[in-house]
Structure 1
């Protein structure tokens, strides 16, 4: 397959590209695009099957789209707290650039599979749990609003036959490697990532019962690749949304896993301090999902947070 990945310099884009380029038979050609030069992942079997294109999608989507595309993964975006602090930038990157890309796709390669990564941030307010795809989105952040706007646009393009759209509402991904991001949920990786490397992490709320729905990088990419196989007719044209499977974990659960897998001494690097700007965003998100639709489509979930921490510990050893 010939696959385009936007936001490809980011963690998810790089991780997915590496998996695709390690396909046993070298069946995939991967085009990586971002506003910076997206590196071709190292240690792959088929690096010659990849190319990187630096582009601003709002002004230059036509430079990264060609008639031979089989699938597009849409990962680009400004994260939650970043969108909240700069409305214009968030709207430009998260919505306007996505719309520009979709317009070029429908003209250049109509019917192409477009896999859009949305977020549980589309939910907010007084929500009855467990959340399903039928739960009405009521975002309480600019990021969530921009995501649901894109969801409706992609659904309309799919209904009209312009694209073969699939919308995946992702759980928070933990543990992400690298550095903290502008996401309000960044600490949900930092609480493991930083202490495991002898670095401090500040949890932005003093509430160890705070619960969040998340998945590991390994399971996320497994599910992203699986999305390439979902038949178009598996979902109705007017409803292209799937809540990807996750597990519910509290701050205390995460600290307990850190101690069990990383060592009791790692807890000294974790501190807790209420952040009045982040708390309203964090508490607006639901904590329990019914993933019946996703599991019925063949998507999978993590089994425990201890395993997620072990994955990250193993990655440090490999690095």
Structure 2
């Protein structure tokens, strides 16, 4: 039974992935976060998971975590301070996004043999100027602290893999949408809010007055399937040991496209809950990111394509029972 450690497991993606892995009987999970993460309520095999509260910035907590979870077959690193949060608090972003990740990698380096490590990177590693369509050959030049911290961790994943310490890959996530729950400290948080809040009859503020503004998005369902795939795919011959970075599949969607999908699926009246205002700080971060990606490399490895944003809205409504 493969034993998989998930850090940041109390967050949305951590819970999403845990539920997906626990839908199959063969995975044993160790879920950890700075708060005690729950075992997802809809898990089919909840007894296959244990939860551990651990602060990855605390050496003693980290040592206890790894002594409790050994031996491991894989680790999925999802912990982090999101984009706006890392920009607002540089020290906290560096501590959690960079130093805690390095500490985890050092623990993994001590294991008897290299294990599969999935690192959650981000499209935020890219900054302007950018070509109309981005692929992995485009030089990352982040314009924010979050993207910079992610890029530094990508370099660590590459070098630890090249040296044979781990069998790692850095997966650059698109914005995951539609997320349930409350708004986050991510600059892109409003993209889920545009759907989530009107469906709950709440207001969502769009932080820029530009309906042509495009974002690169991925549905939660597609992301979960691709992460499960990445746990076992053989990257040999597909990715060089020193270039273990993949832009994950997504779709380009404008603000107007999102509004149209909301209206089509849930009714025109829901649009009245959307308010367009200008937030210069958030808009600067958003406009530094790429809007269209060439996912040829991801598809050649075997990752799954996303379908459409309209389907992501329908998935959200189905999952939340709205």
Q: Same fold (TM over 0.5)?
A: yes
Match of 1:133 in 2: 136
| Aligned mates of 2:112, 2:321 — CA distance in 1 | 43
Residue 254 of structure 1: how far off its partner (Å): 0.2
Deviations 1:99-125 (A, max 9, x none): 000001111344011000100000001
| Aligned mates of 1:34, 1:63 — CA distance in 2 | 13
CA contact (8 A) 1:38 1:53 kept: yes
Q: Secondary structure at the match of 1:16?
A: helix
Match of 2:53 in 1: 54
Residue 260 (structure 1) aligned with residue 264 (structure 2): yes
Q: Secondary structure at the match of 2:294?
A: coil
Residue 286 (structure 1) aligned with residue 284 (structure 2): no
Residue 203 (structure 1) aligned with residue 229 (structure 2): no
Match of 1:168 in 2: 171
CA contact (8 A) 1:203 1:272 kept: yes
CA contact (8 A) 2:218 2:249 kept: yes
Q: Secondary structure at the match of 2:317?
A: helix
CA contact (8 A) 2:235 2:301 kept: no
Match of 2:221 in 1: 218
CA contact (8 A) 1:67 1:109 kept: no
Q: Secondary structure at the match of 1:278?
A: helix
CA contact (8 A) 2:204 2:273 kept: yes
Match of 1:298 in 2: 302
More deviation, 72-81/298-307: 298-307
| Aligned mates of 1:304, 1:112 — CA distance in 2 | 34
Q: Secondary structure at the match of 1:290?
A: coil
Match of 1:19 in 2: 20
Match of 2:3 in 1: 2
Match of 2:88 in 1: 85
Of the candidates 227, 232, 236, which is equivalent to residue 229 of structure 1? 232
Residue 316 of structure 1: how far off its partner (Å): 2.4
Residue 114 (structure 1) aligned with residue 127 (structure 2): no
Residue 64 of structure 1: how far off its partner (Å): 2.1
CA contact (8 A) 2:135 2:247 kept: yes
CA contact (8 A) 1:215 1:301 kept: no
CA contact (8 A) 1:57 1:97 kept: yes
| Aligned mates of 1:48, 1:2 — CA distance in 2 | 13
Residue 248 (structure 1) aligned with residue 247 (structure 2): no
CA contact (8 A) 1:58 1:101 kept: no
Could you list the structure 1 runs, at least 4 aligned residues long, displaced by more than 6 angstroms after superposition.
none
1:26-41 aligned at under 5 Å gives the runs 26-41=25-40
Kindly tell me: are residues 314 and 271 of structure 1, through their superposed partners in 2, closer, same or farther at Cα, counting changes over 3 Å? same
Match of 2:162 in 1: 159
Q: Secondary structure at the match of 1:108?
A: coil
How many aligned residue pairs are there?
316
| Aligned mates of 2:37, 2:93 — CA distance in 1 | 21
Q: Secondary structure at the match of 2:32?
A: strand
Structure 1 gaps, min length 5:
none
Output the aligned Cα RMSD: 1.0
Match of 1:150 in 2: 153
CA contact (8 A) 1:69 1:109 kept: no
Q: TM-score, normalised by structure 2?
A: 0.96
Residue 102 (structure 1) aligned with residue 105 (structure 2): yes
